[in-house]
Structure 1
Amino acid sequence: MEIIQAPAGCFDLLHQKPFHSPSISIRNRISSLSLTSINNTSPLSLNNSRKLLTASCSLLDDALSVQTFEVDPMLDIKKKAMVVSPGLKGTSIYLVGINSTMKSRLGNLLAEALRYYYFDSDNLVMEAAGGEAAVKQLLDMDKVGLRESETEVLRQLSSMGRLVVSAGDGAVQTSTNLSLLRHGISIWVDVPLDLVAKEIVEGGVRLFGSDISPTASHSEVLSRLSMLYKQMQEGYAIADVTISLQKVAGGLGYEDVESVSAEDMGMEVLTEIEKLIRVKKMMEDAARPF
């Protein structure tokens, strides 16, 4: 009788508690082998058993390595934020552009990476007005009052720092509101209108301050969005930086814009902010007397 010794480290792994992963089938296969003895076997079959056991343990080791190795999808964003943050010095960031899922996700992601607070200005206006029904009433009967509420919300937000603000369309409709955005860095999040229309129709999303109905057809919603876009485009274009979903997709080699993640957009935003900070520093250095 000859004892087959399991390769170093494998025996302990075999006696760990089972875990839920694709490697469980590998564990079952290995458990069917006898680790104590093999009787009446030829040297050739014994050698093959050793090779099978060694190979199986190697597979188990690899499977366990995959199971325990997790990558934080925010890791690169957080690293970039650590580089950008000192130069940012707590300056707030305002995201403008037609509201979309990407805009909201991007705002939350940037706030988390930079350790800022996140606010949606439309939600704040809605709370101040007394709810969605009250906003609709203002939209129908007192648009001036609604715009004044938007200005007041922006004024209060602009007096604070370390904020990421998802700004509604009211932020780019008056010179007063545009001047309030100058208290921070403004980013135009340019999302294809077709994608926004899809979110409205399929997700039942209702744009704040707009009478675009989510029950309308995709073509009708897209047509209304195009009209809204033309009205707002000049205000959007005043932003310090434009981040286009289509350009990011092209730069990353994605065939579909929906493949672009909030992390992809976040990295692009932080890269552009880093450029702004660098230019500002160069201008400040150039203005210093010899």
Structure 2
Amino acid sequence: MHSKSMEAMCGSTLQFFPWTGCDRIGGKPHAAVGGMMLNLSIRKKSGMNWIDLSKSACTRTSPGQRKFLVLSHGRKDCLESSTIELGNLYASFDKNCLLKRKAREVASCLNGRCIFLVGMMGSGKTTVGKVLAEALGYSFVDSDCYVEQAIGGESVAQIFNQYGEKFFRDNESEALQELSLMPQQVVATGGGAVVQPINWHYMKQGVTVYLDVPLDTLARRIAAVGTYSRPLLHFDSGDAYTAAFVGLFTLSKKRSDAYANADARVSLYHLAANLGLEDMCDLTPIAIAMEVLVQIGKHLKGK
């Protein structure tokens, strides 16, 4: 829509800048979003709030390029919450832009190689993997799901119960071999994939990253959703947290040396401390994905 007709429709401008980190350029509030300065204002018409997303004078924009976003209905009691939500929106948008910028930098060194995320169950490999894949323009694959589909759609828990762990591990190795031959993928591996030495041969065709999460945090995450889908942690007695923690402790003693083979390590404990967070559960997938890219970059430059 042409800016003049939009101006006529929207009427006067009511400006809100509740978030921090805004600069003032030429006496007008602006916000830096992904390296681009934006005019942020709310225009009202017929009970609607419109957000003016036109670029500032530092990057001249023709009137036809001005963009508007409908924020919410214009009731007075909504304005305060709306502006707070807008601040959160732009903070999130800015972090996404930074992540994609870092991804472009790392991708130039990866040359299409896959990223294999390793770590204990519940460490967030799938969640972080999807964010990484989107930022890099890669495909995402969960190796457990890959095995499930190859076997016929049965869940990992069903495969363990019906065929045993060895059968699953053999199929897991076949899956990793196939996945290692496919470029530009982020692969979230099963927690026990690291125990088979042959799997490292396959995963080392790409870059391996260990998501290191304290056992207490893992146990709390798993207890919150239950242990039924975790065949190595499912016990009939005891509370979910205790069962998860004891099982994870036993598994970690068997796997800790294997995890150390990863090319890069991301410690959520240290990341949370560096970001000033008291609880590691407050770490966002974007923050973890950014740290993964940072550590991959260090590994590649080290080579």
TM-score bracket for the superposition, by shorter chain length: 0.7 to 0.9
Structure 2 match to 1:157: 179
Give the TM-score taking structure 2 as reference length.
Answer: 0.69
Query: How has the CA–CA distance of structure 1 residues 130 and 17 changed in structure 2, closer, same or farther, with 3 Å as cutoff?
Result: same
Residue identity opposite 2:45 in structure 1: Q
Runs of 4+ in 1 over 6 A off after TM superposition: none
DSSP-derived class of the 1:100 partner: coil
Query: How has the CA–CA distance of structure 1 residues 68 and 23 changed in structure 2, closer, same or farther, with 3 Å as cutoff?
Result: farther
Instruction: Determine whether 1:81 maps to 2:103.
Output: yes
Residue identity opposite 2:274 in structure 1: G
Query: How has the CA–CA distance of structure 1 residues 181 and 12 changed in structure 2, closer, same or farther, with 3 Å as cutoff?
Result: same
Structure 1 match to 2:279: 256
Are 2:123 and 2:211, in contact at CA under 8 Å, matched by a contact in 1? no
The counterpart of 1:25, out of the listed 60, 76, 87, is 76
Structure 1 match to 2:289: 266
Are 2:233 and 2:247, in contact at CA under 8 Å, matched by a contact in 1? no
Instruction: Determine whether 1:115 maps to 2:137.
Output: yes
Structure 2 match to 1:32: none
Number of residues of Structure 1 aligned to a counterpart in Structure 2? 240
Measured in 2, the distance between the counterparts of 1:132 and 1:195 equals 29
Structure 1 match to 2:265: 242
Instruction: Determine whether 1:70 maps to 2:93.
Output: no
Residue identity opposite 1:25 in structure 2: K
Structure 1 residue 92 displacement after superposition: 0.4
Q: Deviations over 1:42-81 (max 9, x none)?
A: xxxxxxxxxxxxxxxxx9xxx69x5897341411101111
Aligned-residue identity in percent: 30
Question: Over alpha carbons, which structure has the higher Rg?
Answer: 1
Structure 1 match to 2:45: 16
Structure 1 residue 209 displacement after superposition: 5.0
Structure 1 residue 89 displacement after superposition: 0.8
Structure 2 match to 1:169: 191
Structure 1 residue 108 displacement after superposition: 0.4
Are 1:106 and 1:262, in contact at CA under 8 Å, matched by a contact in 2? yes
Query: How has the CA–CA distance of structure 1 residues 26 and 140 changed in structure 2, closer, same or farther, with 3 Å as cutoff?
Result: closer
Listed as ranges, the matches of 1:1-290 within 5 Å are 12-13=12-13, 16-19=45-48, 21=72, 24-25=75-76, 70-71=90-91, 72=93, 73-100=95-122, 102-132=124-154, 136-139=158-161, 141-206=163-228, 208=230, 210-213=232-235, 216-217=238-239, 218-280=241-303
Are 2:235 and 2:243, in contact at CA under 8 Å, matched by a contact in 1? no
User: Could you list the runs of 5+ residues in structure 2 that have no partner in the other structure?
Assistant: 1-9, 14-42, 49-70
DSSP-derived class of the 1:169 partner: coil
Are 2:157 and 2:229, in contact at CA under 8 Å, matched by a contact in 1? no
Structure 1 residue 189 displacement after superposition: 0.5
Residue identity opposite 1:70 in structure 2: Y
- Which structure has the higher relative contact order (CA within 8 Å, separation 6+)? 1
Residue identity opposite 2:75 in structure 1: I
Structure 1 match to 2:52: none
Are 1:190 and 1:242, in contact at CA under 8 Å, matched by a contact in 2? yes
Measured in 2, the distance between the counterparts of 1:219 and 1:75 equals 40
Query: How has the CA–CA distance of structure 1 residues 167 and 208 changed in structure 2, closer, same or farther, with 3 Å as cutoff?
Result: farther
Measured in 2, the distance between the counterparts of 1:264 and 1:138 equals 34
Structure 1 residue 103 displacement after superposition: 2.0
Query: How has the CA–CA distance of structure 1 residues 101 and 262 changed in structure 2, closer, same or farther, with 3 Å as cutoff?
Result: same
Query: How has the CA–CA distance of structure 1 residues 69 and 142 changed in structure 2, closer, same or farther, with 3 Å as cutoff?
Result: closer
Q: Deviations over 1:61-112 (max 9, x none)?
A: xx69x58973414111011111111111111000001122622211000000
More strand by share: 2
DSSP-derived class of the 1:70 partner: helix
Are 1:77 and 1:263, in contact at CA under 8 Å, matched by a contact in 2? yes
**RMSD of aligned alpha carbons:** 3.3
